[in-house]
Structures are given as C-alpha cells and as structure tokens.
Amino acid sequence: MQKIKNIEFLRVFLIITITLYHMRIYLKRLHIDFFTDMYNMLDGGRNGVEAFFIISGFFLIFTFKNIPTFDFIKKKYFRLMPTAMFSILICAVAWILKINSFKFIPNIMMGLLFSHFGLYWCRGANIVLWYASALFFGLIVFYLITKFAKEKYHIPIFAILGFGGYLSLSIVNNGLYDGHSEYYLGFIPACTLRVFAGLGVGSFLGKIYQKYKDRIRNLNNNNAKTFLFSILELFTFGFIIWWSYFKLVKIENSLYVAAFVILFVCFLFRQGILSKFTDKDIWTNLSKYTYSLYCVHLLVTRILSKMILNPHRDFFITYPILTVLFTLSVSIVFGIITYYIIEKPCYNWFVHKTNQK
C-alpha cells in the first residue's frame, strides 16, 4: 500500500514524543527543577506506543496477504530483528564502558525478539525492545487471522480483540496502559494485551477503510465538512499534545486511544486543514527512520548522560533547554545513522536473497 503522508507525520510526532518520554528519566538525574518538571509533565508520552500499535494494525490489512505464512514471518523478522540486535551490541559496548549492566542470555533473547513473544520471558538492558518483540508476535497472530479466518468474521474478531483488549486493560490496571513486563491479575501478560488491543483497533479501522476507501477518497469537499473535520483534527491533536507533554495526573488512558482513533480517521478522510497541511512528502522521508530511532534512543541518552551530561553538569544545568535539544538531536542523528548502516542494508540483503530463490 502506498504511504499515507499525513499518517507518516503522526509516526514522526509519536517517535519524538516517545524519545522525550524516555530522555526525561536520565535528565532528571541532573537534579534541577527544570528537568524534574519535565519528568512529571512528559509522563503521558508512553501512550505513543498504543498509537504505533494501531498504525501497524491498520497497514497490516493492506500488506503481505497473499504470501505464504512462513514468508510473512521471515519478512517481518528480518525487518525488525537486525536493528534490535544492533541495539543489544550497543548495550554490550556500554557495559564494557561501565555504563550499564549486561547479562548475555536475557539480552540476546531480547535482541532476537523473544523477550515478550506472547509471554514476558526476560528483561534486557534495552527495555524499549519489548515493543518490537510484542509487535512481531502480534503481527503473526493477526496475519494468521486475516489469512485463514473467513472474511465475514474479520471485523467482529478485530473489534473484540481491539476494543475488548482496551476495556480489559482499563479494568485490570486501573485505567492505565503503562505495563509491559507485568502479569495483570497474575496471569494476563501486559505486553500481549497491549499489542492485541492496538493491532485489533488498527486492523478494525483497516478493514473498514478497505471496504469504503473509494467513497472516502471521492467524498465531496465543502465548507461545512472542512470546518467540521478541522475542528475534530485540531481538538484531538491538541488533546494528544496536552496528554503527551503537559499531563500531570494519571487518568483513564482510553481517552488517549479514543482521541488518536478520531484523529487517525480524520487524517484518512483528508478533509480538514491539519490533515491537508501535513499531507507532505517530507513526512514520508522522515518516518522511515522511526524504528531505528526507537531502538537506539534510550541507549544514546543513557550513554550521553554518563559520559557527557554528568561530567559537565554545571554547564548543562545552566542551559537546560540546550541540554534537551542536544540530547534529542544526537539521538535523532544516531537513529538515522543506524537506519543506513543496519536497518536498510540488512533488509535489502534479505530481499535480495529472497528474490534469488
């Protein structure tokens, strides 16, 4: 399926939000009020993972449907695993530099995407990889549903898994979607519940869009529709910004999911001013770096904190905004480098080998 430019804008926004969310943990250790306030305010950024799951579920409906199951698994594995394993190599180097601890088996399991494969098995040094492991497992399950379940059952199944999953999360975890290594009620894996909920909602939206996309694309534009969609887009996007950057209390996380789903649907219609304004090629060009940035950003922040920020604490305390921009910029640059030296060449090699057979 061709990239939807304004949806790629959402990917870029989400990865910056998640990067800042994790960055705040290490900046807080500089012990100044600015970073303490930043730590409290950015707490809602963790819900960006829910949005990424929803986006992945949506695009799953339009990809890989007609290829053999094992080929699908290989494609997804070699799309996700090399970058994850590279991040584990960074963890090993950081261990040599005495920046973090490193245990061989848990970290290798995490790099191979088995740490949260349906169940929570182990915890490695790069904890953000739980997302990649859970996503890989979830994509396999949902692919099997789309491939082998009868077409008429797809929408009900996705609705039950998606909306039922989020309802279950709200019930068992007091409205919060912030766990990935826990077992709710003692036996429900948090990682599986979150990925099933997100992919379920995304796949549900994908099936609806697939069924009505011609009508959506040919929808007549008029001032009333533009006004209505613009209000919805600006309100929901503003709500997500507030939630991610300014929320100071823990409230029902389903509100974030609901706002993102409304914004996502509005962007598919492309009737409002925000969805049209973000319908630019630049976001497609930038969004390709999101996975690499996700895999390495926590490690970059950890290393910078140990080797640069803390040793020169007085300077960075004096210029806190510069500290944030510096750390974020280095993370982004390293994410881009990772894409070009690991993610892209590894996947191209896999595609080349596959086409030779």
d(CA 129, CA 234): 32
Contact 291, 19 (CB under 8 A): no
What pLDDT was estimated at residue 64?
65
- Cβ atoms 134, 50 nearer than 8 A: no
How many other β-carbons are positioned within 10 Å of the β-carbon of residue 241?
13
Number of domains composing the chain: 1
Q: Residue 183 pairs with which residues in a beta bridge?
A: 189
Report the pLDDT value the prediction gives residue 314, as an integer from 0 to 100.
Answer: 85
Looking at the DSSP bridge assignments, the partners of residue 189 are 183
Strands (E), the chain: 183-184, 188-189
Q: Which residues constitute the domain of residue 162?
A: 5-356
Q: What is the pLDDT of residue 357?
A: 64
Whether the Cβ atoms of residue 255 and residue 298 lie closer than 8 Å to each other: no
CA 267 to CA 342: how far, in whole Å? 32
Residue type, 341: I
Q: What are phi and psi of 265, to 5 degrees?
A: -65, -45
Q: What is the DSSP string of 90-153?
A: HHHHHHHTTSS---HHHHHHHHTT-TTSSS-----S-GGGHHHHHHHHHHHHHHHHHHHS-HHH
Instruction: Quote the longest CA-to-CA distance of the chain.
Output: 63
Per-residue pLDDT of the chain (357 residues; tens, 9 = 90+): 678 999 999 999 999 999 999 999 888 888 788 888 888 889 899 999 999 999 999 999 988 667 889 999 999 999 999 999 999 999 999 999 999 999 999 999 999 999 999 999 999 999 999 999 999 999 999 999 998 999 999 999 999 999 999 999 999 988 888 889 999 888 889 999 999 999 999 999 999 999 888 777 777 778 888 999 999 999 999 999 999 999 777 789 999 999 999 999 999 999 999 999 999 999 999 999 999 999 999 999 999 999 998 888 888 888 899 999 999 999 999 999 999 999 999 999 998 888 776
Q: What is the spatial distance between Cα 56 and Cα 314, in angstroms, rounded to a whole number? A: 43
243's tokens: 């939630």
Contact in structure between 136 and 77 (CB atoms under 8 Å): yes
Nearest partner of 132 among 66, 87, 197, judged by Cα: 87
Residue 144, pLDDT score: 94
In terms of C-beta distances under 8 Å and separation of at least 24 residues, what long-range contacts does 214-219 make, across chains too?
A: 216/268, 216/269, 219/269, 219/271
Report pLDDT for 251: 85
CA distance 122 to 97: 23
Q: Return the beta strands (E) in 165-260 as ranges.
A: 183-184, 188-189
Three-state secondary-structure class, residue 265: helix
AA identity, residue 327: T
DSSP 310-332: TTTHHHHHH-HHHHHHHHHHHHH
Q: What is the pLDDT of residue 37?
A: 86
- How many angstroms separate the first and last alpha carbons of the chain? 24
